[in-house]
Amino acid sequence: MLINIITLFPEMFAGVLQQSILGRARQGNYVEIHLKDLREFGIGSHKVVDDAPFGGGGGMILKPEPIAAALEDLGQAGHVIITTPRGKHFQHPDAVRLSRMKAITIICGHYEGIDERITELFADEELSIGDYVLTGGEIPAMVIADAVTRLIPGVLGKDTLETGDSHYKGMLEHPHYTRPREFRGIVVPEVLLSGNHEEIRIWRKKMAFQKTRSVRPDMLLRENDFDTDNLDREEE
């Protein structure tokens, strides 16, 4: 898979792309991640990439010409995404969908935004990682790249993908414990020490449901494979 990232600050990605899952995925040739420095396509001797908005108002707007030139300079742009606070919330199903594409390009928004003509002419979708405003779209681009890359076949082992990570099945993840069996007065639940895999599976499913109901009840309104009625009865 190919992931292009168009950004004013490519140096921000250096550590992230070299470490952990992203680093190993790149070394294993499961994913190519290309950084495109938007400043290289700036206008004039000063490489200008922004200008004041028509109609007045504070802040600056990223000009359309440099972004269009950067996109057209890519060998393969694929599915084009703009990171912006006004975009649709990026969620696990989006990561799954994007991981199945051959190529995606993420345009990192900055300043007060991007000239709307880029959205109209080039963008396939706008994505946001939450209801807040960041300095720029670089961190959201890192989030999207990480979430997508770990879903590419071969990047993670099959067992890891099926352990019930949060959002994989429409629920948050169950609690985890490791040694020691007791820490500061809190003891590991006895069921996890029983060796009974079916009881452990049921316990984990029940705990995932309880955590989701407590922290993210909105997720229970979505279609998932949990029998919430039975889980409620088991608690009584």
Largest CA distance in the chain: 72
150 annotated active-site: yes
Residue among 51, 65, 165, 173 flagged as catalytic: 165
Residue among 37, 94, 112, 125 flagged as catalytic: 112
Are residues 36 and 70 in contact, defined by beta-carbon separation less than 8 angstroms? Answer: yes
The alpha carbon dihedral of 48, 49, 54, 57 has a sign of negative
Please give the Cα distance from 81 to 87 (Å, whole number): 10
Please give the Cα distance from 125 to 87 (Å, whole number): 8
Residue among 26, 39, 51, 85 flagged as catalytic: 85
| Antiparallel, parallel or unpaired: β 186-187 and 182-183 | antiparallel
Burial class for 96, CB neighbours closer than 10 Å (0-12, 13-18, 19+): middle
Which three-class secondary structure state does DSSP give residue 159?
Answer: helix
Please give the Cα distance from 187 to 155 (Å, whole number): 35
Number of residues in the chain: 236
Strands, E, within 16-141: which ranges?
32-37, 50-51, 61-62, 79-89, 103-108, 125-128
189 annotated active-site: no
- Catalytic residue annotation: 85, 112, 150, 165
